[in-house]
Amino acid sequence: MRLLYSPSFHDVSKGVWLKNEPCKLKCRNPTSSMLAINCLPHSHRVCFGSFSLYAFRSRGRVACGVRAQEMQKEEEEEIERGSKKQKAYPFDEIEPRWQGYWEENRTFRTPDDDLDTSKPKFYILDMFPYPSGAGLHVGHPLGYTATDILSRYKRMQGFNVLHPMGWDAFGLPAEQYAIETGTHPKVTTLQNITRFRCQLKSLGFSYDWDREFSTTEPEYYKWTQWIFLQLLKRGFAYQAEVPVNWCPALGTVLANEEVVNGVSERGGYPVFRKPMLQWMLKITAYADRLLKDLDDLDWPESLKEMQRNWIGRSEGAEIEFSILSSGGHEGDVKLTVYTTRTDTIFGATYIVVAPEHPLLSSMISEDQRKPVEEYTELASRKSELERSELQKEKTGVFSGSYSRNPATGEAIPIWVADYVLGSYGTGAIMAVPAHDSRDYDFAVKYDIPIRWVVNPVDGQFFPEKLYIGDGTMINSSSLMTGLDINGLPVKEAAAKVIDWLEITGHGKKKVNYKLRDWLFARQRYWGEPFPVIFIDDSAEIVPLPESELPVTLPELDDFTPTGTGEPPLAKAVSWVKTVDPLSGKPATRETSTMPQWAGSCWYYLRFMDPKNSKALVDKSKEMYWGPVDIYVGGAEHSVLHLLYARFWHKVLYDMGAVSTNEPFQCLINQGIILGEVEYTAYRDQKGRLISADNVKDTNEYHHERIPEEKVLKSSDSYLLKEDPSIRLSARAYKMSKSRGNVINPDDIVTGYGADSLRLYEMFMGPLRDVKTWNTRSIEGVYRFLGRTWRLIVGAPLTNGSYIDGTVAVDEEPSQEQLQALHRCINKVTEEIEGTRFNTGISAMMEFINVANKWEKRPQSVMEAFVLLLSPFAPHMAEELWNRLGHTYSLAYEKWPETKEKYLKDSLIVLPVQINGKTRGSIKVGEAATEDEAFRLATNEQKLSKYLVGKTIKRKVYVPSRILNIIL
């Protein structure tokens, strides 16, 4: 479905839509208008032009037509019920009050120059967010809530806590929006930051907002430019002509992850591979250290393995294959291949070169030139990721030429295939189809000979089957070349082949990496300018003096691509034309900008010293705060961002600018929150409902969304309530505007309060797991907070208000109360330390269940519990702390300590006799008094029946031994 946007709908996207105003959005397929309504930022009823089709969106649910009207009515009734219903506690009064208090008093400000460095430090960091116009959805606060709990907990343990927030705000989305609307990226970026900041503050996160900054501020990117100059000075930055993902429509180079199926992820425009002169960073110079130092990091093993695979260190050899002339003679041109399996050289039956291989044009025979050129053109539209990892079916074309296998002396064909990358190894491989799955698939498809040269360890050889395991060599000797490795184990054979290659001059041992140097330039406006100029008469690259920093972006009104391949900055002629500040010669500025990754590579250092105009970071502050103790963010950044940041950090370490070898000691990837479960029914071409278990290809049926109230759950299945013979499909999807399943946290805060949202996200399950959102489930934690409020404040008065203080009493707690409290302290402390926040909340719920049965609530027990609650539900905790008689914030109050003596099960079984005959037993504390033991005995049904109508003459009580009641 294609949507045609009218100006009035464009106003909707900017958030100025008027409720119930007719929408002029036109849709070619009115029955599929659900996608259109998903674009609305809030819950509104709209009409789609002349179709008069109503659509309604609320809390991630969308509907059209009659169902839309029903859904709007349901929500209006729900709002009406909510306005009449007594809130579980007055969160709408409490939360704004304490957020205002924290801001006014700068409660969470981390001292800078006056910091007491004798105290231990705790630096906890959220991955730098990109402030989009859509604002937060409920998946975003998951990691933020976890870091906030840890931050509050550590403050109460006496740590100096650094818990900052800022914005990774350069990048393509803002520039594209500027092109589409004419609005300067700076304007939309500031608007988006303001929205994000307000949403984060509404959730009560204890960030030190005094340290806030954006990567777009010249005071910040001055030091990004400074780091680039240090890289350039040390030879780690250079220019090279490399194949890139060029998108003409966007007018920029795209990273591999920004290209999907040959088109740009943003906009869906065609992308081509083409050589361009680009700035590169030599991250490969640190490949071994980036690999080795992973071992010392407290990161998930799966993530470390991802980085190891991305770096891709391998040991093998480079082998030279002579290219043969049309007459079959060896010429001077050699084709170098890289292989990790030198043992299989006798099984190489063809060569494969990448479509971008520099020697390709000289290898193509005339009769194959046209098909090869057509194939390379198609390959240029794919990203490296698509070619190497996503592509299932192998494709290729014969070059028309042959090369000689140096081990066998045979002429073998040279093929061109895009599953070989010009950026890896030498851009050419010797293909051994019997023992490599990709080569095998390719050889089978194009009927290329397959020769088995490895026999399995067990000696059972099965011809015609791919074998990639260990074994001994067969079919691997040649009298002509003098190489014989038959019968050798694979490893010994590989070593012998390498020795032979080096002796004969056909090759050499080589360590290789999948990791490529970092392409560090984008043909965009909205990014950090490069601090270099080019002398006009010589094209010499001249780094600007540090005194010239920052090189600020010029103001532009036109951000559209130039159409010539030059970046938009080329339009700022008066800015581009400059002079060398040292020689005075005319010069030209670099018009590409740095990629978005640049600013996020080192931001964690700037948070340590955000106002420093003299240095990247003060050394003493860096030595105190570094490294980051816990870094929390999504797994999607597990490779690139983390690898780039580690690389920059190691360069800074070698320069002496930082004191640690690694930037992030512990890393936590929080799971994602999926949208609410969607229930789908299927209809065939005649409109008949078909049970989901009879549907093989869902694309052949019409999909109909079924509201939850019309769904019947039966065992593990979901059925249509009005017709239980119809089984429905039930699935949760990642939140996205296109699906219409995005839940706005503002709605949850309005309905239940920020503390409920925080608790629910932590209670959904383990922090690192994928979880499914369910708005109705918030009721559980909301009720828990209500019970906590009533436990300490008491029930509401007849007018719905509450007493000013609490119902807590200034009395010594009983043994039972102390045991309940300290078990809770012990459990909550353990679970916070282990980031098992869901089970920590469960422990507090258990305590509330017990405490609500107490006749009296001792002040000391209530205070300790409020402190336990405070990292999770800080607004309520602050209010209760204040009502308990404290005039200051609890943010730095000492965390309750567990007393081991109350963790022991001190209850004993005490026999109870009636007139000297044992009639039962009770459980009492070891130090229970006679009155406590007698009270428990009379409350026990088995024992109390003997006392009915009787007069007690006396009681004989021996502590821990026996209670005898004489009637």
pLDDT in tens, 683-695: 998 889 999 988 9
Q: State residue 66's pLDDT score.
A: 53
Mean pLDDT check: name the lowest of 40-49, 687-696, 903-912: 40-49
pLDDT recorded at residue 370: 95
290-310: b (≥16 Cβ within 10 Å) or e: bbeebeebebeeebbebbeeb
DSSP state of 531: S
| Region class of 107: left (phi > 0), else alpha (psi between -120 and 50), else beta | alpha
Is the predicted pLDDT of residue 444 greater than 70, yes or no? yes
* Three-state DSSP string of 851-885: HCCCCCCEHHHHHHHHHHHCCCCHHHHHHHHHHCC
- Extract long-range pairs of 695-703: CB within 8 Å, 24+ residues apart: 695/729, 698/729
Q: What's residue 85's pLDDT?
A: 52
Q: Has domain 907-966 been given CATH number 3.10.20.590?
A: yes
Domain ranges of the chain: 120-213+597-668, 226-299+517-593, 313-513, 673-742, 754-902, 907-966
Non-local CB neighbours of 828 within 8 Å, separated by 6+ positions: 840, 843, 844, 868
For residue 176, what pLDDT band results from cuts at 50, 70 and 90?
confident
Would the pLDDT of 34 be above 60? no
Q: In the predicted model, what is the mean pLDDT of residues 296-301?
A: 95
533: exposed, middle or buried (Cβ count in 10 Å: 0-12, 13-18, 19+): buried
Q: Is 784 helix (H, G, I), strand (E, B) or coil?
A: helix
Q: What confidence tier does 238 reach under pLDDT thresholds 50, 70, 90?
A: very high
Give dist(CA 734, CA 743) in Å, integer. 11
CA–CA separation, 511 vs 291, rounded Å?
Answer: 14
pLDDT, residue 789, reads 97
| Closest CA relative to residue 403, chosen from 334, 497, 476 | 334
CA dihedral 678, 679, 685, 687 (to 10 degrees): -130
At residue 17 the predicted structure's pLDDT band, cuts being 50, 70 and 90, is very low
> Mean of the per-residue pLDDT values for the chain?
88
Most confident segment among 8-12, 226-230, 328-332, 816-820: 226-230
By percentage, how much of the chain surpasses pLDDT 70?
A: 89
Contact 728/711 with Cβ under 8 angstroms? yes
Contact of 409 with 481, CB cutoff 8 Å: yes
pLDDT of amino acid 175: 87
- pLDDT (0 to 100) of residue 180: 84
- Report residue 627 as tokens: 């490294």
CB 655 within 8 A of CB 616: no
Quickly state the pLDDT bin for 925 (edges 50, 70, 90). confident
The lowest-confidence range among 74-83, 240-249, 260-269, 370-379 is 74-83
Residue 77's pLDDT band (cuts 50, 70, 90)? low
Tens of pLDDT, residue by residue over 193-202, are 999 999 999 9
Average pLDDT, stretch 253-274? Answer: 80
Question: Given a cut of 70, is residue 64 above it in pLDDT?
Answer: no
Check residue 432 and give its pLDDT: 97
CATH of 226-299+517-593, one of 3.30.70.2200, 3.40.50.620, 3.40.50.150, 3.30.1490.20: 3.40.50.620
452-462: pLDDT as tens digits: 999 987 766 66
CA terminus-to-terminus distance, the chain: 89
Cα distances (Å, whole numbers) of residue 223 to 210, 280, 611, 617, 819: 19, 19, 12, 10, 55
CATH topology of domain 120-213+597-668: Rossmann fold (3.40.50)
Contact 394, 438 (CB under 8 A): yes
CATH architecture of 313-513: Alpha-Beta Complex (3.90)
pLDDT of residue 389: 61
Q: What is the CA 157 to chain-centroid distance, rounded?
A: 29
In this model, does residue 97 exceed pLDDT 90? Answer: yes
Res 25 pLDDT > 80: no
Which pLDDT value is given to residue 847? Answer: 97
CA-wise closest residue to 409 among 506, 495, 343, 337: 506
pLDDT of residue 60: 46
Are 832 and 840 contacting, i.e. CB atoms less than 8 angstroms apart? yes
778 with 754: CB under 8 angstroms? no
Record the tokens describing residue 631, joined without a space: 């870094």
- Which segment of 174-178, 525-529, 869-873 scores lowest on mean pLDDT? 174-178
Q: What is the number of other CB atoms lying within 10 angstroms of the CB of residue 180? A: 12
Q: Which of 35-39, 304-308, 452-456 has the lowest mean pLDDT?
A: 35-39
CA–CA distances in Å: residue 633 to residues 147, 173, 641, 937: 10, 21, 11, 56
Is it the case that residue 145 has pLDDT exceeding 70? yes
With cut-offs at 50, 70 and 90, classify the pLDDT of residue 144: very high
User: Mean pLDDT lowest for which of 242-256, 271-285, 762-776, 826-840?
Assistant: 242-256
What pLDDT score was predicted for residue 417? 94
- Determine if the pTM surpasses 0.75: yes
Q: Which has more confidence, 139 or 607?
A: 607
Measure the CA angle with vertex 350, ends 345 and 353; round to 5°. Answer: 105
Is the confidence at residue 214, as pLDDT, over 90? yes
CA distance 858 to 845: 18
**Geometric angle at alpha carbon 259, from 668 and 191, rounded to 5°:** 65
pLDDT of residue 391: 59
**Is pLDDT above 70 for 22?**
no
Q: Give tens-digit pLDDT for 584-638.
A: 999 999 999 999 999 999 999 999 999 999 999 999 999 999 999 999 998 888 7
**Architecture, CATH, for domain 754-902:** Orthogonal Bundle (1.10)
Q: Of the candidates 600, 606, 605, 608, which has an alpha carbon nearest to the alpha carbon of residue 160?
A: 608
- Output the six-digit token pair for 790: 């009533």
How far, in Å, are 96, 196, 366, 720 from residue 201 at the CA level?
10, 9, 68, 42
Return the minimum-mean-pLDDT range out of 168-177, 529-538, 932-941.
932-941
Percent of the chain with pLDDT over 90: 66
Q: 955 pLDDT exceeds 70?
A: yes
Residue 390: is its pLDDT beyond 70?
no
Q: What's the pLDDT band for 51 if we cut at 50, 70, 90?
A: very low
pLDDT at 45 over 80: no
Are the folds of 120-213+597-668 and 226-299+517-593 the same?
yes
pLDDT of 28 over the 60 cut: no
